Structure 1
Amino acid sequence: MLKRNITASILLTTFLSACATAPGNYLDTSRLRDEPQSAPKETYPVRLIDSDLIVQQAQAKTAAQVLPPPGPFADPTQYVYRVAPQDILGITVWDHPELTTPNGSTLSAGGNTTQTLGGALQQPYTQALPGQADPYGQTVAPDGTIYFPFVGRIRASGKTTAQIREELATKLVPYIRNPQVDVRVLSYRSQKVQVTGDVKSPGPLAMSDVPLTLVDAITRSGGSTADADLQRVRLTRKNRLYVLDANGLLDRGDTTQNVMLEAGDIVNVPDRTDSRIFVMGEVKTPMPVTMIKGTLTIADALTQAGGVLDTDANPRQIYVMRGMKDKPATPDVYRLDMTQPDAIMLSSQFQLQPMDVVYVGTAASTTFNRVLQQILPTVQTVFYLKQLTR
């Protein structure tokens, strides 16, 4: 009987030791040298979330309002479109049909399609005609000039249609008595704004005689998609990047964010990847939470993560870690004490920022219980081995 118990003990010990050499994914650390750090670890100051901090946060948000980029026309009523190369002009001289673009003529739209002058006049300010030449209208040459009978070549680039009309009328006086001239743009093809990102119809938008604003550009591109982050629209102008809140016009009536665009601008509507909050620690469902219209509070984040664990969480240790992307060595750390009467109100007013980490601490009793759960299987194994060897 004793021999049988000893044999069983040896087999059990061999089986348990074999777990360390069992096949599976593991890292061989024999070639790694982990040297202990002799320098003391850096400490991070923690600021308690209270009513004073909420007030300071609101004041800082107002002071940090993003100003619109500078533009040539701050007032849309002062906007003037100036002709540029590749624009197509329609010139009318009254009572002189031989000098006028025929109303029944068609404009080349590229490929096998054409459109009438009436269609060209109704051309929406969303995109330019894809055609590269027009036999009936006056296409502005790459050097910025156009040719007109009796007048010859005149410079049109950089001028308004009114200035071109006055110059043509003045130079036609020797040939036509009291000439009445009208100049209009049949196709806007020279100046464009690129709209990219999470919009339904990304692509170029033609600048026209109607001012084009940021919201107009997004709307004319089919509107934003469900994943678009309208609070962080990126505008690239003259090699500088601006971040604008396109939704501020609808939510707060902030018209300063609805800037007027100019030729060469690139508007990028990003997704909400950079507007995430990470909820970790003793919550029911640790997960990234996407900000809603650019705002999210601690209460919102914890609620979407299923709430804190009643038996494991330490309600005094609700931490918010901020700025680890821009300043990883000196992040800002805030703590909310949920045991205080005003904690619920504070949790619903403290505004989180993109890439913040909300961490719920662990209760001391939970840590002790988890240590016991790790030790208990070993204690049980030793006990059974001792019983078998008796």
Structure 2
Amino acid sequence: MKSMIVTLILSATLALVSCARPSEQLNLEMSEGESWKVVANVSNRLMPGDELQVLYVLKATDAKDFVIAPLDQVEVKFPTNPELNEIQTVRPDGFITLPFVGDIVVAGRSPKQVSGELTTRYGEYLNVPDVYVIVREYGSRVAEMNEAMVRNRGGQGRPIQVRPDGSASFPIIGDVRAGGQSLEDVRQEVRARYREVDPRMLVDLSLMQAAGAQTWVLGAVTNPGNYPVQGQISLPQALNMAGGIRSMSFPDAIFVVRRDGGVIRYRLLNANLSQPEVQTLMLSEQSIVYVATRTISDPGAMAEQLAQQVFFRSFASADGK
């Protein structure tokens, strides 16, 4: 998996070295620093390795608020005509089928509302059309959600990690694109998708822990990939972790992108490793080092695209999602 991701990044980066163009996805602004150029406005974007917490509660079941949902099990009781009593599971289309009256929509309505309609409709067939509707069990989707969660104070929760491809997998609703998105955007999408499953599901999402420190070393190095680090390291240390510059590669430049909190900085350096600025350059806990063998014509666009592909995984996965 790691080698496939590195290959995807390298393939995309090679196209950028000679003809990079600004990305429309991050919409980032660049300004001059002293020796670094600065790319800003990324502080709230999620990235692979971030750990999220999804918190789930079931909406209050007061009579005025409670509504029936598909896959709930409902009991229809006739006190004066018990032979008509029925226990049915609400179909995915929201209907149940009863003797005499046929199909009736119950999903999205309260038991009291359904009881009132049934009392009216059975008035054509029964002398005393008393009908009561009771929800015996929540739908299987709610039960599945309950099983998937761990009970916490105030509700039930579950940790969700953003995967290397930038997606996060949630109970029932499956994968949601998270890498490169703001926490609020992901929260709103998750809430909407759970509402489609069952409108009674109230879901919240929070960032529990940011991704650990790591440095990506790419391009003309012996072992391109990502490497866990402890605190700051120097550029030569990062190159050594990747086995050094590949022999006979004739590098043109070393391109460095680093993330400092909400700021992404980049710097283009001469490939001469003996130069003081190369020897003393320090990386942050989230950095990219790219050894280029071609001229980088648009460093700003290059930094932007590398941030997309490495920090946020905005490139499409193999299945096109």
TM-score above 0.5 = no
Class of the TM-score when normalised by the shorter of the 2 chains: 0.3 to 0.5
* TM-score scaled by length of structure 1: 0.34
- Which one has a larger percent helix, Structure 1 or Structure 2? 1
* TM-score scaled by length of structure 2: 0.39
Q: Which has the higher contact order (CA 8 A, sep 6+)?
A: 2
- Which one has a larger percent strand, Structure 1 or Structure 2? 2
Larger Rg: 1
